[in-house]
């Protein structure tokens, strides 16, 4: 199976051994961040630093001023954690080591955007804004995300891209010093707390036959026993319908599914229009369309008719591959994403068996998260596991 390792530019730039170290893992490809959210990351082998703090979401290359001139919503350049064309420098080093470079582009996840332009953010039924979550229904935000996808994905030398967070973001987010776990919201509660009530979403619910004020009140009423611990909020979509009522639940999902699908179609089309022939476009995806987050909820049949494939979270098991495999065609990429950092819940020592299970369920490739964050012992286990795959 073809394997690709996730990497940040700061893992490579300034470390003359980094590219060869990644090649020696046995991977033939790297998925290199070109646009990324804020993070604090270890660099355990870098000769000049051990911790990199990316203070805000940024593009890791010089943005095209002709594209963004006079636009209120535009990408932020990186600070000293990724100066200049950090992506280009890293991509060059990795390509020189014989690795195929694909871009890693984070889209609808940007806390600085929400802080500086609050009207871009998701607004829940209580009126609370989620600055980390741009609302993908807002026209100016959608236009920004589509243009960012095209620019950040098609960097010089890249052979393909992986688009993360190309869909709805919601409550679930590891925010700084996150303290939202006091009430077990469950799958249904998370959905209700992720519903957006910005002006565009309110109009969208109206188009589905719902009065937005009444709908917001119904969401708050449905959540009240959950806050008290008097009612559960698990049970998947059936749990959402039980809490909110089937008609209201289906109306919200119809609006959100339609909005996400049209954005995904537009972004993929924009990338393809900017890319050379043979450029692959994948989405980080979850096969349950109402799910929010980095792995955007999608309809498997629809997304595989739009993109070349998907990257699917499989660290907890490969089961999410099955709905995608049912709609795969010749050439469809189903990449099983496995965390190989022990300290982040990964299991690099079972990589060979985990990959074999994923392959049995339809995976055609592997993604390894994350070559820059892993310890030496984890990387040694990855080398051994990839050798074991043959």
Share of the chain above pLDDT 70, in %: 97
The yes-or-no verdict on residue 282 having pLDDT over 90 is: yes
Cβ 284 vs Cβ 296: under 8 Å: yes
CA 43, CA 47: separation in Å to the nearest integer? 9
Q: Which tokens go with 379?
A: 């990387």
Spell out the SS3 assignment of the chain.
CEEEEEECHHHHCCCCCHHHHHHCCCCCEEEEEEEECCEEEECCCCCCCCEEEECCCEECCCCCHHHHCCCCCCCCECCCCCCCCHHHHHHHHHHHCCCEEEEEEECCCCHHHHHHCHHHEEECCCCCEEEEEECCCCHHHHHHHHHHHHHHHCCCCCCEEEEECCCCCCCCCCCCCCCCCCCCCHHHHHHHHHCCCCHHHHHHHHHCCCCHHHHHHHHHHHHHHHHHCCCCCCCHHHHHHHHHCHHHHHHHHHHHHHHHHHHHHHHHHHHHHHCCCCCEEEEEEECCCCCCCCCEECCHHHHHHHCCEEEEECCCCCCCHHHHHCCCCCCCEEEEEEECCHHHCCCHHHHHHHHHHHHHCCCCEEEEECCCCCCHHHHHHHHHHHHHHC
Residue 280's beta-bridge partner residues? 160
pLDDT given for residue 172 in this prediction: 83
Is 70 exceeded by the pLDDT of residue 386? yes
Inform me whether the pLDDT recorded for 161 exceeds 80: yes
Quick: pLDDT tens for 94-115: 999 999 999 999 999 999 999 9
CATH code for the domain defined by 2-181+280-389: 3.20.20.80
Residue 325 main-chain phi, psi, to 5 deg: -60, -30
Q: State the Cα–Cα distance between residues 170 and 159, nearest whole angstrom.
A: 31
**What is the C-alpha separation between 120 and 132, in angstroms, rounded?**
10
Indicate the average pLDDT of the chain: 96
pLDDT of residue 185: 83
**pLDDT tens-digit series, residues 74-83:** 999 999 999 9
> In this model, does residue 70 exceed pLDDT 90?
yes
Query: Residue 181: pLDDT above 70?
Result: no
Write down the pLDDT at residue 233.
72
Whether 204 has a pLDDT exceeding 70, the answer reads yes
What is the per-residue pLDDT for 179?
64
Statement: residue 325 has pLDDT above 80: yes
What per-residue confidence (pLDDT) applies to 229?
Answer: 81
Q: Confidence class of residue 390 from pLDDT cuts 50, 70 and 90?
A: low
Cβ atoms of 2 and 29 within 8 Å: the answer is: yes
pLDDT digit string, tens, across residues 214-234: 999 999 999 998 888 877 677
What pLDDT shows up at residue 380?
98
pLDDT at 294: 96
| Tens of pLDDT, residues 243-264 | 999 999 999 999 999 999 999 9
Residues 335-377: pLDDT tens digits? 999 999 999 999 999 999 999 999 999 999 999 999 999 999 9
Domain ranges for the chain: 2-181+280-389
Q: Is the pTM of this model over 0.95?
A: yes
Determine the Cα–Cα distance for residues 210 and 214; give it in Å rounded to an integer: 8
The average pLDDT across 20-26 equals: 98
Indicate whether 177 pLDDT > 90: no
Tell me the mean pLDDT in the region 316-323: 97
Predicted confidence band at 174 (pLDDT cuts at 50, 70, 90)?
low
């Amino acid at each position: 199976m073809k394997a690709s390792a996730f990497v940040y530019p700061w893992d490579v730039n300034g470390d003359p051994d980094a590219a060869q170290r990644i090649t020696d893992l046995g991977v033939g490809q790297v998925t290199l961040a070109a646009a990324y959210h804020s993070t604090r990351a270890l660099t355990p082998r870098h000769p000049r630093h051990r911790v990199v703090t990316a203070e805000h979401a940024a593009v890791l290359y010089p943005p095209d001023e002709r594209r963004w001139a006079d636009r209120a919503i535009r990408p932020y350049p990186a600070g000293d954690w990724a100066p200049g064309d950090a992506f280009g420098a890293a991509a060059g080093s990795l390509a020189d080591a014989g690795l195929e470079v694909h871009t890693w582009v984070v889209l609808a996840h940007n806390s600085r955007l929400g802080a500086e332009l609050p009207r871009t953010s998701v607004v829940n039924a209580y009126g609370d804004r989620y600055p980390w979550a741009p609302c993908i229904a807002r026209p100016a935000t959608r236009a920004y995300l589509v243009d960012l996808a095209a620019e950040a994905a098609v960097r010089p030398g890249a052979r393909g891209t992986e688009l993360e967070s190309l869909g709805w973001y919601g409550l679930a987010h590891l925010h700084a010093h996150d303290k939202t776990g006091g009430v077990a919201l469950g799958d249904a509660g998370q959905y209700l707390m992720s519903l957006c009530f910005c002006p565009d979403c309110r109009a969208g619910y109206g188009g589905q036959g719902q009065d937005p004020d009444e709908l917001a009140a119904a969401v708050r009423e449905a959540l009240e026993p959950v806050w008290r611990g008097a009612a559960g909020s698990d049970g998947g979509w059936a749990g959402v319908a039980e809490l909110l009522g089937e008609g209201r639940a289906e109306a919200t999902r119809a609006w959100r599914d339609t909005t996400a699908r049209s954005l995904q179609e537009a972004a993929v089309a924009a990338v393809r229009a900017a890319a050379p022939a043979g450029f692959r476009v994948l989405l980080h995806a979850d096969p349950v369309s109402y799910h929010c987050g980095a792995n955007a909820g999608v309809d498997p049949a629809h997304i595989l008719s739009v993109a070349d494939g998907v990257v699917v979270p499989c660290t907890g098991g490969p089961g999410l591959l099955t709905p995608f495999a049912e709609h795969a065609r010749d050439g469809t990429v189903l990449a099983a994403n496995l965390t190989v950092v022990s300290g982040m819940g990964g299991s690099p020592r079972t990589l060979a068996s985990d990959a074999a299970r994923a392959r049995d369920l339809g995976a055609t490739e592997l993604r390894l998260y994350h070559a820059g964050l892993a310890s030496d012992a984890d990387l040694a286990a990855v080398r051994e596991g990839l050798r074991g795959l043959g």
